[in-house]
Protein backbone atom coordinates (compact mmCIF):
# COMPACT_ATOMS: atom_id res chain seq x y z
CA UNK A 1 0.00 0.00 0.00
CA UNK A 2 1.34 3.43 -0.95
CA UNK A 3 2.13 5.94 1.76
CA UNK A 4 -0.86 8.15 2.59
CA UNK A 5 -0.40 11.81 3.38
CA UNK A 6 -2.81 14.39 4.70
CA UNK A 7 -3.76 17.37 2.58
CA UNK A 8 -5.81 20.31 3.74
CA UNK A 9 -7.42 22.87 1.46
CA UNK A 10 -9.32 26.03 2.42
CA UNK A 11 -12.04 27.72 0.39
CA UNK A 12 -13.86 30.97 1.24
CA UNK A 13 -17.63 30.53 0.96
CA UNK A 14 -20.35 33.13 0.70
CA UNK A 15 -23.08 31.12 2.42
CA UNK A 16 -24.28 30.41 5.92
CA UNK A 17 -22.81 27.48 7.81
CA UNK A 18 -26.26 25.85 7.92
CA UNK A 19 -26.72 26.06 4.16
CA UNK A 20 -23.21 24.81 3.44
CA UNK A 21 -23.55 21.95 5.93
CA UNK A 22 -26.56 20.57 4.06
CA UNK A 23 -24.46 20.29 0.89
CA UNK A 24 -21.79 18.34 2.83
CA UNK A 25 -23.84 16.01 5.01
CA UNK A 26 -26.98 15.03 3.12
CA UNK A 27 -27.37 12.69 0.14
CA UNK A 28 -29.25 15.27 -1.92
CA UNK A 29 -26.69 17.97 -1.12
CA UNK A 30 -23.71 15.75 -1.99
CA UNK A 31 -25.33 14.55 -5.22
CA UNK A 32 -25.50 18.15 -6.39
CA UNK A 33 -21.72 18.58 -6.60
CA UNK A 34 -19.65 15.69 -5.25
CA UNK A 35 -20.92 12.81 -7.38
CA UNK A 36 -23.77 11.81 -9.66
CA UNK A 37 -25.97 10.33 -6.94
CA UNK A 38 -25.88 9.25 -3.29
CA UNK A 39 -27.88 6.58 -1.52
CA UNK A 40 -27.77 6.33 2.23
CA UNK A 41 -29.08 4.12 4.96
CA UNK A 42 -28.18 5.27 8.43
CA UNK A 43 -24.47 6.14 8.46
CA UNK A 44 -23.70 4.18 5.25
CA UNK A 45 -23.37 6.33 2.11
CA UNK A 46 -23.08 4.90 -1.39
CA UNK A 47 -21.52 7.47 -3.73
CA UNK A 48 -22.22 6.91 -7.43
CA UNK A 49 -20.17 8.20 -10.38
CA UNK A 50 -21.59 6.78 -13.62
CA UNK A 51 -21.22 2.99 -13.29
CA UNK A 52 -18.86 3.23 -10.30
CA UNK A 53 -19.96 3.01 -6.68
CA UNK A 54 -17.87 3.76 -3.59
CA UNK A 55 -19.14 3.15 -0.06
CA UNK A 56 -18.29 5.35 2.92
CA UNK A 57 -19.40 5.49 6.52
CA UNK A 58 -20.30 8.76 8.14
CA UNK A 59 -17.89 8.65 11.08
CA UNK A 60 -18.77 11.78 13.00
CA UNK A 61 -20.65 14.99 12.46
CA UNK A 62 -21.55 18.16 14.27
CA UNK A 63 -24.36 20.24 12.85
CA UNK A 64 -23.07 23.25 10.88
CA UNK A 65 -19.44 22.54 11.94
CA UNK A 66 -18.02 19.36 10.37
CA UNK A 67 -18.70 15.97 8.84
CA UNK A 68 -16.23 13.09 8.50
CA UNK A 69 -16.43 10.09 6.15
CA UNK A 70 -14.36 6.92 5.96
CA UNK A 71 -14.19 4.97 2.71
CA UNK A 72 -15.04 1.30 3.16
CA UNK A 73 -11.84 0.34 1.32
CA UNK A 74 -9.69 2.57 3.57
CA UNK A 75 -7.89 0.16 5.90
CA UNK A 76 -5.61 2.83 7.39
CA UNK A 77 -5.57 3.69 11.08
CA UNK A 78 -6.88 7.18 10.30
CA UNK A 79 -10.18 7.89 12.01
CA UNK A 80 -11.59 9.27 8.76
CA UNK A 81 -10.75 9.32 5.04
CA UNK A 82 -11.94 12.85 4.37
CA UNK A 83 -13.50 15.67 6.33
CA UNK A 84 -15.43 18.83 5.57
CA UNK A 85 -15.07 21.48 8.28
CA UNK A 86 -16.83 24.84 8.35
CA UNK A 87 -15.09 27.71 10.09
CA UNK A 88 -16.95 30.97 10.64
CA UNK A 89 -15.10 34.16 11.59
CA UNK A 90 -16.72 35.55 14.75
CA UNK A 91 -16.36 39.17 13.64
CA UNK A 92 -16.97 39.16 9.87
CA UNK A 93 -19.14 36.01 9.82
CA UNK A 94 -17.25 34.93 6.69
CA UNK A 95 -17.30 31.15 6.24
CA UNK A 96 -14.38 28.98 5.18
CA UNK A 97 -14.72 25.39 4.05
CA UNK A 98 -11.72 23.30 5.07
CA UNK A 99 -11.32 19.98 3.25
CA UNK A 100 -9.00 17.41 4.79
CA UNK A 101 -8.18 14.28 2.79
CA UNK A 102 -5.70 11.43 3.08
CA UNK A 103 -4.22 10.61 -0.32
CA UNK A 104 -1.45 8.53 -1.83
CA UNK A 105 1.83 10.44 -1.62
CA UNK A 106 2.31 10.26 -5.39
CA UNK A 107 -1.18 11.71 -6.07
CA UNK A 108 -1.11 14.88 -3.95
CA UNK A 109 -1.15 17.36 -6.83
CA UNK A 110 -3.80 15.40 -8.74
CA UNK A 111 -6.06 15.23 -5.68
CA UNK A 112 -5.64 18.94 -4.95
CA UNK A 113 -6.76 19.69 -8.51
CA UNK A 114 -9.71 17.32 -8.13
CA UNK A 115 -10.81 18.94 -4.86
CA UNK A 116 -10.46 22.41 -6.38
CA UNK A 117 -12.68 21.33 -9.25
CA UNK A 118 -15.24 19.69 -6.97
CA UNK A 119 -15.42 22.65 -4.62
CA UNK A 120 -15.77 24.98 -7.62
CA UNK A 121 -18.89 22.95 -8.53
CA UNK A 122 -20.15 23.24 -4.95
CA UNK A 123 -19.65 27.00 -4.85
CA UNK A 124 -21.40 27.36 -8.20
CA UNK A 125 -24.37 25.32 -6.93
CA UNK A 126 -24.79 27.45 -3.80
CA UNK A 127 -24.24 30.71 -5.67
CA UNK A 128 -21.04 31.59 -3.84
The tens-digit pLDDT sequence of the chain (128 residues) is 557 899 999 999 999 999 999 999 999 999 999 999 999 999 999 999 999 999 999 999 999 999 999 999 998 889 999 999 999 988 888 899 999 999 999 999 999 999 999 999 999 999 87
Query: What pLDDT does 2 receive?
Result: 59
- Dist CA 25 CA 122 (whole Å): 13
Q: Where are the beta strands (DSSP E) in 74-119?
A: 82-88, 95-104
Does residue 48 contact residue 35 with C-beta atoms inside 8 Å?
A: yes
Query: What pLDDT does 3 receive?
Result: 76
Does residue 33 contact residue 128 with C-beta atoms inside 8 Å?
A: no
- Dist CA 86 CA 109 (whole Å): 23
Superfamily of domain 4-126: START domain (3.30.530.20)
Amino acid sequence: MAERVQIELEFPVKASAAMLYNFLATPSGLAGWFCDDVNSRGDRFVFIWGDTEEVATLVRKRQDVFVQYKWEEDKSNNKFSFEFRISVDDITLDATLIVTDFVDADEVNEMKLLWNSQIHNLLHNIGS
